[in-house]
Structures are given as C-alpha cells and as structure tokens.
Amino acid sequence: MANKRRSMAEFLNLAEYETPTVTDGLKRELSTDKLRPKANQPRRTIDPTELEHMAATIRMLGIIQPIVVRPLPNDPAGCYEIVAGERRWRAAQLAAISTVPVIIRHLDERRATLYSLAENVARSDLNPIDLAKGYQRVVKELGFSQTELAEAIGQNIKTVNRVLQLLKLPDAIQSFIEQGSLSAKHGELLLGLPKARQFELAQLAIQQQWSVRELERQITKAAQEIPNKSSNTDNDVTREQALWSEQLGADVKLRHWKTGKVRIIITVASLDEYQGIRERLGVN
C-alpha cells in the first residue's frame, strides 16, 4: 500500500521542538518596524500595482490573514523575520498602518524555507522561474531530494521535476517567462530544441504571440523542413525528441538505423532526476 501523504504540519513537525516555548503559535500585534523580510525568499519580484491594490484593501479592511514570523536570534532590538506574508507587510507600510497581526513560529532555517515556499505554492503565488529557483534552493542548500520536496509541498514528483527543468533554459528565455512574455508550457516545449533554436523560436513566439499549441506546431513544421542529412535520421526526429524530453523532464536524444532500430539516450544531471525518470516510467 502506498504511503499516505503527510500534511505540511506533519512534515515540518511543527508540534515538536527541541526547546518548546509557550510563545510558539501565539497570535499578536507587532509594529511593522519590528519585522524584517526573509533573505533568499522564493519571491524575487513584487508588482508595484498589485501592492497598491493590496494597500487600498488593507486601508479599508485591515490585514485579514496574519503574517507568519519567527524570532531573529540574538537580535538586541527583538525583531522578527517574515516567514510568510512579506507583501502584506509591505502593503501595510504603504497604507501607513503601524501594527500588523502576526503568528509567531519557532522554525529553523530548513522549516522556515519550506513554510514560505509551501504558502506560495498553495496560493499559486510565484512566477514559474521564481518557483523553480525556490525548489532548487531547497534541494541544493537544504539537502532535500526532489521526492521529499514534492511530499513537503503537496505536489507530485513529476510536477516538481518539470518546474526545475525550466532552469536549464538560457537566462534570456528564463527572463521572458519571469516577465510573463512566455508561459512555463512554452518553456517546456523549447527545452527539447538545440540552444540556438530555443532563443530563435522564443523570440518569434513573443513577437507573433504564439499560443503553446502554435509553438508546438511551429516546432513540428521546422523539424519537417530540415533536409535529411543522413540515412540514420528522419524529419520527425526533432519532434520526437521534444515530446520525449517534455514527458520525461530530461534531455532525450534519438538515434535511428536503416534496420528500424532506434536508440533512446536519456541524460540526467543528478540522481534525483534519475529517480524522477524511474517513477515516470513506472520502474519499481
């Protein structure tokens, strides 16, 4: 029987601490001056227009959802770090609100990072590149496997791997996705192409406002127009490689022989990616 997915609270083990304190989980009002934004938080950009709208709402209704904070160790001013809710804090400052409701949590760096990331994932609150970089930090800096990360934030491993794959795109294309000029789905299709073709088609997709379906059609069309340079390849190779790469979330190359023999070469960058491929292929 498959293991039951744990809730976020169970995963973070919020009910158990090495040094229990009665203040954990306490809701109270704190001065906005006592709060500090979290370093390396998943969100890297905040839309000024969206912030103005939030500030207007806060002026009328106040902050409905408390900001989650944790005490800053050895801070003489008794300040707190924002774990989740930085936009609410900034909007409150913009609205000239001097105090905000908070919930105090005693979290180590590992749990604080997951808490922040999980809140943004639950609210679909990050652009795909910020989300990918948030995932990458949890995996590389905090030592989580992709499977553990997926479990912690309530996603499946395939979804997590597909998001991380976006970081293999050139920086320029990542910027297009960050700015909203291209979607994550556009990026996933471009991953199956050679680097030079990726940027060329990305620019065309933006200039001509191609949908994901249209980009896929253009990739297929471009592959069919490439002359057959070798008896070992055919006009569908590029499309097939793109489809395999999209489904598996990894770099896939195909090699053909006259006899009909086909070799599929899957290249992964880490053991976590390898495990993700095994799971997608149903290898137990």
| pLDDT the model gives residue 30 | 92
3-class state of residue 144 by DSSP: coil
pLDDT at 2: 44
104 forms beta bridges with 69
Query: For residue 142, is pLDDT > 90?
Result: no
pLDDT at position 234, please? 55
Q: Region 168-194: what's the mean pLDDT?
A: 92
Cβ(250)–Cβ(162) below 8 Å: no
| Domain ranges within the chain, ordered by starting residue | 8-160, 169-281
What's the confidence (pLDDT) of residue 137? Answer: 82
Predicted confidence at residue 231, as pLDDT, reads 41
Structure-model confidence comparison of residues 52 and 151, the more confident one: 52
pLDDT at position 10 over 80: no
- Taking residues 70-96, report their average pLDDT: 88
Fold classification of 8-160 (topology level): 3.90.1530
**Per-residue pLDDT, 17:** 43
The percent of residues in the chain predicted with pLDDT above 90, rounded, is 24
pTM of the predicted model as reported, rounded to 2 decimal places:
0.56
What pLDDT sits at residue 164? 92
Position 66 pLDDT exceeds 60:
yes
CB 79 within 8 A of CB 36: yes
Structure tokens at 188: 């996933």
Q: In this model, does residue 280 exceed pLDDT 90?
A: no
Q: Is the pLDDT of residue 246 over 80?
A: no
Q: Residue 141 is encoded by which pair of tokens?
A: 């800096």
